[in-house]
């Protein structure tokens, strides 16, 4: 079922707030906890931020592909492999935050200007099947919120492992 215009506006506002939420969550993490992993197969707060930069670059391309191409195919990627193969801990944080902010900063005005016909455009995702502009919006509006919460959980786990109280 299609979203109403007011619901879309709310989703776009959530999408726009994401970079600030990510920065705020990360700013609460002490320097010594930023590369700490809460368990096997879990990402550190640093890795989460680098993932967000890569994912937001993908996301910005995905919505443009859905809007501009005929019968677009959106390709999935192995985010765990990217983190390992691209050695996320070796990548600097500030350009990653800037990439997140730039991708969203360029995409928000695009979203705000979409017509009803644009919102009805769709493609196919190689992993999840049918993929609409509204699907994209709901996925990515929640994306950085989810990762900001993940960083918070990492900090809580680090504090618990160190026997300290959260600040």
Per-residue pLDDT tens for 73-100?
999 999 999 999 999 999 999 999 999 9
Q: 30-77, pLDDT tens digit by residue?
A: 999 999 999 999 999 999 999 999 999 999 999 999 999 999 999 999
Are 6 and 128 a contacting pair, CB within 8 Å? no
CA distance 156 to 33: 10
Res 142 pLDDT > 80: yes
Tell the burial category of 145 from Cβ atoms under 10 Å away from its Cβ (0-12, 13-18, 19+). middle
Closest alpha carbon to 146 in 31, 78, 81, 52: 52
pTM: 0.94
Residue with the bigger pLDDT between 26 and 167: it is 26
Res 167 pLDDT > 70: no
Are 15 and 111 a contacting pair, CB within 8 Å? yes
Average pLDDT for residues 106-133, to the nearest whole number?
95
For domain 5-162, say whether CATH 1.20.120.450 is its number. yes
Bin 87: left if φ > 0, else alpha if -120 < ψ < 50, else beta: left
Rg of the chain over Cα atoms, rounded to whole angstroms, equals 17
- Which pLDDT score is estimated for 166? 58
Domain boundaries, the chain: 5-162
Res 122 pLDDT > 90: yes
- Which pLDDT score is estimated for 27? 98
Sign of CA dihedral 105, 20, 12, 140: positive
Q: Which residues contact 57 (CB under 8 A, 6 or more apart)?
A: 99, 103
């Amino acid at each position: 079922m299609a979203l109403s215009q007011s619901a879309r506006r709310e989703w776009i506002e959530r999408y726009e707030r994401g970079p600030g939420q990510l920065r705020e969550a990360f700013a609460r993490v002490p320097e010594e906890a930023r590369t700490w992993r809460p368990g096997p197969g879990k990402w550190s707060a640093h890795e989460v931020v680098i993932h967000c930069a890569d994912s937001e670059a993908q996301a910005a391309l995905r919505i443009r592909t859905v809007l501009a191409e005929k019968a677009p195919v959106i390709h999935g990627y192995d985010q765990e492999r990217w983190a390992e193969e691209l050695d996320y801990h070796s990548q600097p944080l500030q350009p990653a935050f800037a990439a997140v902010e730039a991708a969203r900063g360029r995409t928000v005005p695009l979203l705000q200007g979409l017509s009803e016909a644009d919102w009805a455009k769709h493609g196919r995702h190689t992993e999840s099947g049918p993929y609409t502009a509204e699907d994209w919006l709901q996925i990515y509006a929640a994306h950085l919120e989810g990762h900001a919460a993940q960083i918070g959980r990492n900090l809580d786990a680090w504090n618990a492992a160190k026997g300290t109280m959260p600040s």
